[in-house]
Structures are given as C-alpha cells and as structure tokens.
Chain A
Amino acid sequence: MTSVEERVDAPETGEDHRRWSSLYPELGKGPIDTERFISEERLDEERKLIFSKSWLNLGSVHDLQGNNSFFVRDVALLGVSLLVVQDKAGKIQVFHNVCSHRGNKLVWEADGPCPYQFACRFHGWGYKADGTLASVPDEEEFFFEGDLPNKSTLGLVPVRTEVWNGFIFVNMDKDGTETLLEHLGPLGESLQDFPFDTLELRYRYDVPDDANWKVILDAQNEIYHLPMLAPLHRFLGGGAFSTNEDGYTRLYDFERLGIHTVYTSDSDAEWVDTPLRTAMANLHPEYNVVKLPNRGPFVFHVQFPNMVIGFLGNFMFTYNIWPVSVGHSVWEIRMHYPKAKTLADRVCQDLMKVRFRDLLCEDVTGHAALQIGLTSKARPEIVLGEQEVQIRSFHKNVDDYIARSTNV
C-alpha cells in the first residue's frame, strides 16, 4: 500500500486531527445502529446475502499435511460440513463432506493423510481423493442403471474452490461468477507478492467467544482501547503502538481496499519492553531484524467478510471469525513465523506467541461485555470516533454488500 502522505487525495501534511473523515467523506461521522449486533433477522440476512455469496477463507495449506491430505471444516452458520482435500499432485478441492448414499457426514476426523478411500461409516461407500465414488458394498443390490441415478454421478459434491497465496477459499454460491481475485481486489494486489511461503504455522487457537462476529472483529479492528482495557493492553498502550503526547494511540495509516481495509500503527521510539523481552532482544542478534516486507510494526488487513491477515513485527496472525449464532462465535486464531533455523528462533516464536495470546485473552472478556451491553438495548446506536474509522468502513462495506446482494 502507499503511505497516506504519498496518495494524491491525502490531507495536508500534519493534519492529523480527524484526517480520515476528510479522506473518506463517504463514511460519514454519525453513529451506527446496535440492532446489527443483536438481531436474528440481521444474522439471517448476513447468512443469506454475505456468507452464502462471498468467498470465505477456510484456512491455508498449512492446515494440510502436504499432498494427499485433508482437513474438515464445519461451518455452523451455513449448516455445512466441508472436506478440503489436497490430492497427490497438489491440487486442492473442497467438497461437501456428505455421502451420496443416505446423506451421512462422510469424514469425522479433523484432518490427516488421505486414506485409500474416504469410507462412509454408515455403509462403507468409498470415495477417492478426487471425489469420485469408487466402491459400493453389495453393489449388485443397487439400481445404478440409466439415470436411477448412474453411479458416475454419485461422487462427492464439489464446492467452488480457489487458492490464493496458499490461502484456501470457498464460495457456496454455485451460480456465482465472481472470481477470488476479483473478490480480493486491491487487497489481493497489495499482498500478491508477499512471501507467505517463507512462513510456518506454529499455533492455532479455536476460541469460543460470547459475542456477535462483528463485535469481535470491531474490537480487534482498532487500537484506541489499548491504553485502557486490561493490564497487558495498558502496558503495550504505553508505546508499543504509536501514541500522541497525551498517551492516546494514533493510526499511522488507514486505507479502504475495495470492500477490504488495512490500518497500520508504528511504535514509539522510546518505548521499553519487559525485562525478559529486552534481554532477548539483546541476546538474539536477529530479534529486531525485519524479515517481512511490511511497512510498519503493526499491519491489520480485514479481508471481507470475516478474515484478518495481520502482522506484528516478524510474525503473521490470521483470524477467521465464524458466527455460530447472534451472540456466539468461534474466533480462530493462527500464528505464523519465518521458519526457525535455530532453537533460539523457536524460543523467539514461543515468546511472541505467549505475549499475543495473553493479550487476546484479555480481549475475549471485553467482547462478552460488549455483547451484554448491546443486547440490553439501552441505546439504539453506538458512537465512533476518528480513530475508529476502520469500524465505520467495515460496517459500510457490510451494508453495501447486503444491499448489492439484495438487488442481484
């Protein structure tokens, strides 16, 4: 992305105060309604008009164990179980994880190497990695003649699948025509050449979270709360992220990338980390070496609708925030690092993990408290400031997407 100062539409240099609302006047300055976080009807709209229409990220090649392996992803909101298969040649295809015989959920394991055939536990119908129906026990008793139906039509049902930079996406709209690259738009362009393949996945957390999926995303999609929320937040709010002279965090940059967004933060030069981390920075010669081509210490992309690709120092985190019901979600968190060369590198990976994990553990309590307050309907609207422009933009993107899908 281009830095805000280099953009032709940039506000005057030094015009930090309320610069984003002047750069993006279409986002407005007013409050937004709370109904969107607590209404069954709204979630129903999102299910039909967003999650059933949009490209959705299911994870990445790191969730597979290489060629000839699989993982299963159940998407509660859509009521589907999906089987993600990488065949022996490396091609990735997603299928409905459903046996064609009596409709049983086919694979019950979470992941693993592909078996000789994916065999249904009910009656043993077996499918090859390419989805074709390979074996039917006691086949002579079936009526695979003509179109009764013919056995060749009884393979696993494929789902539209595309892979971008190792990230695996599906689109449940079988009649849709938008490609993944069209969906990713300027976000995809800005990260197209990023060296994702140099990273390794080390940790994944599937955190049950008592909040609407957008409450969780919104709470992560700003740093205004850092100096206030909880002990580790307050510590990091003291300068790990850029602050002004009054101690309030300041975005370094924010950009709308089609229906996606990105914001960045720098850190204060004089900020001092904890004794352990300060010692480690002195003891590992590469601790502060920038290995990833990011434009700042903290970069946070929201990949519409429910994914985040973020960078903090030399590690990448991704979120997949899956709605389960109006007030409940699963927050999938993955942490990736440049591949460790030494055991000292492994130590640094773990150190970064614990810092980030405890920080997000503080956030979870905040999410639940937000949902309680919103659900009370004490107020019909929430108020957003200039340092929350990302949230304003996200909700406009959600509203616009629903409006477009409604009109199609």
Chain B
Amino acid sequence: MSNTVEQTFALPSGFEGLAKFRAWGLPTEGERIARRLETPMPEVQEYYDGMMAELPKIMAYLLERPATNTTAEDENLLFLMFSLHEIAQAVEIYGCGEVVDGADVRLFTSVLNRPGGEVA
C-alpha cells in the first residue's frame, strides 16, 4: 500500500481539493493555537481565503452529518474548520496571530480531553 500524504489526511468525497491545507488539520486546540502563532500572516490569509470560499459547501455537508460516530474523513474536515475559527480573528480583528494587548493565548487551552470534552 502506498503511503502518500493525501492518504493519511483523508477528506470526505468532494472535498479532496482541501487536502492542500492538510497542515491545518490539527486535532487539538493546543496545536491549532501554536500554528496560529507561528504561521506568517500571508499564509494565514491564504488559508482563510481558501476556506471561506468553500464555506457554503462545507456547511451544507456538515449540516447533514450527525454529531456522533464521526468518520476519520469528517473529523479531518472538522479540524480544518476549527483551524479556520482559530485564525479568523487573527485575520479579521488582530492582523497577527497574537491576541494584541492580551495575554499569551496559550494560557487558554482547554484542559478537557475526553469523550464529551474537546475533540482531541
């Protein structure tokens, strides 16, 4: 079995085009915050623009998917959305990854890590 990167980051059918953003498909809040803080803003903007363009299609799909028994493909799509949320305020409010005039946002990493808690 070949082991391409695309295969390790599977997405639901019809969303293969988002695989180019696989680096944003991060399962934990801590990882997403770290990437928000370390990624140069042009790359953040590119991700924001790319995801915003696909938003109607993504939400239409997720509205049909139940919240339980999530497949690995759906989970990856969710992680891409969570990363979009994570960087949206960097783009729309702050103009950078940090919370401007705020504390270190890494202080705000959910301590829940179990079924019913954060998806992790």
Q: Which residues of A contact B (CB under 8 A)?
A: 62, 65, 200-208, 229-232, 235, 274-276, 279-280, 283-285, 339-347, 350-351, 353-355, 357-358, 360-365, 368
Contacts and interface: CB of A to CB of B under 8 A. Distances in A.
Given A204-B111, A274-B88, A343-B74, 5 more contacts: A344-B65, A354-B86, A362-B101, A362-B102, A364-B107
Interface stretch (B1-9, B14-22, B39-47, B52-60): B52-60
A357 B86 CA distance: 10
A365 B86 CA distance: 20
Given A274-B88, A276-B84, A341-B67, A203 B99 contact: no
Contact of B100 (A65, A231, A339): A231
Interface of B: 29, 52, 55-56, 59-60, 62-67, 70, 74, 77-78, 81-82, 84-86, 88-89, 92-94, 99-103, 105, 107-112, 114, 116-119
16 contacts: A62-B116, A202-B118, A203-B112, A205-B109, A230-B101, A235-B93, A276-B88, A280-B59, A283-B56, A285-B63, A344-B65, A347-B62, A347-B85, A354-B86, A357-B105, A361-B99
A208 B104 CA distance: 11
**Pairs A-B, 7 closest by C-beta atoms:** A364-B103, A230-B101, A283-B59, A362-B102, A344-B62, A340-B67, A343-B62
A342 B111 contact: no
A274 B55 CA distance: 14
A283 B67 CA distance: 17
Nearest to B29: A203
A231 B100 CA distance: 7
B101 A229 contact: yes
A148 to B, nearest CB: 43
B101 A231 contact: yes
Given A231-B94, A283-B56, A347-B59, A358 B102 contact: yes
A202 B111 CA distance: 10
B55 A361 contact: no
A365 B102 contact: yes
A201 B101 contact: no
A361 B63 contact: no
- Main SS class of interface, A: helix
Given A279-B52, A347-B81, A354-B89, A65 B114 contact: yes
Contact of B99 (A200, A207, A347, A362): A362
B117 to A, nearest CB: 7
Contacts of B101: 229-231, 362, 365
Nearest to B115: A65
B100 A343 contact: no
Contacts of A231: 93-94, 100-101
Nearest to A332: B111
A347 B102 contact: no
Nearest to B75: A343
A2 B118 CA distance: 36
A75 B108 CA distance: 21
Nearest to A208: B107
B88 A365 contact: no
B54 to A, nearest CB: 11
B98 to A, nearest CB: 10
A357 B108 contact: yes
Residue among B64, B81, B85, B107 having the largest count of chain A Cβ atoms under 10 Å = B85
A331 B99 CA distance: 18
A350 B63 CA distance: 15
A207 B107 contact: yes
Contacts of B29: 203
B63 A275 contact: no
Nearest to A210: B103
A351 to B, nearest CB: 5
Contacts of B116: 62, 200-201
A360 B105 CA distance: 9
Contacts of A284: 59, 63
Nearest to B98: A361
Contacts of A283: 55-56, 59-60
Contact of A350 (B67, B81, B93): B81
A159 to B, nearest CB: 23
Given A231-B94, A354-B89, A362-B99, A275 B52 contact: yes
Contacts of A339: 67
A230 B100 contact: yes
